[in-house]
Amino acid sequence: MKVTVVGAGAVGASCAEYIAMKNFAAEVVLLDIKEGYAEGKAMDLMQTASLNGFDTKITGTTGDYSKTAGSDIAVITSGIPRKPGMTREELIGINAGIVKSVASSLLEHSPNTIIIVVSNPMDTMTYLVHKTTDLPKNKIIGMGGALDSARFKYRLAEALEAPISDVDGMVIGGHSDKGMVPLIGHATRNSVKVSEFLAADKMQWVVEETKVGGATLTKLLGTSAWYAPGAAVSGLVQAIACDQKKMFPCSALLEGEYGLNDLSIGVPVILGKNGIEKIVEIDLSDAEKAKMQESAEGVKKTNGLLQL
């Protein structure tokens, strides 16, 4: 199993580290355009191997895509992150060009790879890869919902004063402050709906804090977060690499599912060796359906900014 991670910045390096720590991949190649940067990050990470007990070989390259040849999975994290006060959508101008050229270079050397898009605005960048490559739709996956769901569970546990292992919940919709749809009505503590434990205002607090989860961290850190994003990507990579058939909310190209068409947006999917093996359509309440529709309109508006 060979995994390439393009962009050896905060998220890319964190993602490579978590993949290595889980010890399921033979090789991780980090690629960046900044001279020596990926090589340096790879060497630093390799020097943790004996300390952390993993055998995954991590190498780095400055822009040499021949080193990524034969990748089973490729993660795109290259591009600029947001600064405090910025929305993810504002990154489109720079990141669209980067994501398009990176996807094309990856496919030249690994025509059968599965691409996981992380760069923001993620749903639109995922759609861009669908529109500009010949990869089948099951092989193009956007990572956002796995992270947003982890942030949702963090806030649920906080509100419930419960350990995180007690709670379960999922965020679907667009990966943006306004577009996220945390499914609070479906969230549970040990299979009991959280509405049994939380008052309506507390549930609303969880929803709102989840939606601005990324912005809260960007304000604190001065740039966007990397540990949870990296861990979330590594979960997707592992599910594909180990054919786990796990369910994650991911940005997938919809063709009628959820009543939506011609966009990539967060919905529950089953991930296995073929990438997206199934889009899972769950029953949504009328209010959730309306939020999903509104979210889709937001994503489509951003997609409209692409010069395809």
Ligand X SMILES: NC(=O)c1ccc[n+]([C@@H]2O[C@H](COP(=O)([O-])OP(=O)(O)OC[C@H]3O[C@@H](n4cnc5c(N)ncnc54)[C@H](O)[C@@H]3O)[C@@H](O)[C@H]2O)c1
Which is nearer to ligand X, 92 or 279 (by Cβ)? 92
- H or E element, residue 271: strand 261-272
Q: Which residue has the tokens 């306004």?
A: 178
Question: Binding site annotation covers 189?
Answer: no
What does the block give as tokens for 103?
């996807």
Instruction: For strands 188-189 and 180-182, give the pairing.
Output: unpaired
Query: Residues 30-59 vs ligand X: string with x where CB under 6 A?
Result: -xxxx--x----------------------
Decide: is 92 part of the binding site for ligand X (CB under 6 A). no
Q: Is there a catalytic annotation at residue 109?
A: no
Residue selected from 29, 30, 65, 144 as contacting ligand X according to rule CB under 6 A: 144
Q: Which residue has the tokens 């947003």?
A: 148
Which is nearer to ligand X, 214 or 272 (by Cβ)? 214
Decide: is 60 part of the binding site for ligand X (CB under 6 A). no
CB of 76 to ligand X, least distance (A): 9
Question: Binding site annotation covers 52?
Answer: no
Give the span between the Cα atoms of 139 and 126, in whole angstroms.
11
Alpha helices in the chain (DSSP H): 10-22, 37-46, 49-52, 92-109, 122-132, 145-160, 200-211, 213-221, 227-241, 286-303
**Omega into 268 within 30° of 0, i.e. cis?**
no
Sign of the CA dihedral running 285, 286, 291, 292: positive
Instruction: Candidates 140-148, 186-194, 241-249, 284-292: pick the segment binding ligand X (CB under 6 A).
Output: 140-148
Question: Binding site annotation covers 10?
Answer: yes
When CB distances to ligand X are compared, the closest residue is 9
Contacting positions for ligand X (CB under 6 A): 6-12, 31-34, 37, 77-82, 91, 95, 98, 102, 118-120, 122, 143-144, 147, 175, 223-224, 226, 229
Q: From the annotation, which residues make up the binding site for substrate?
A: 82, 88, 120, 151
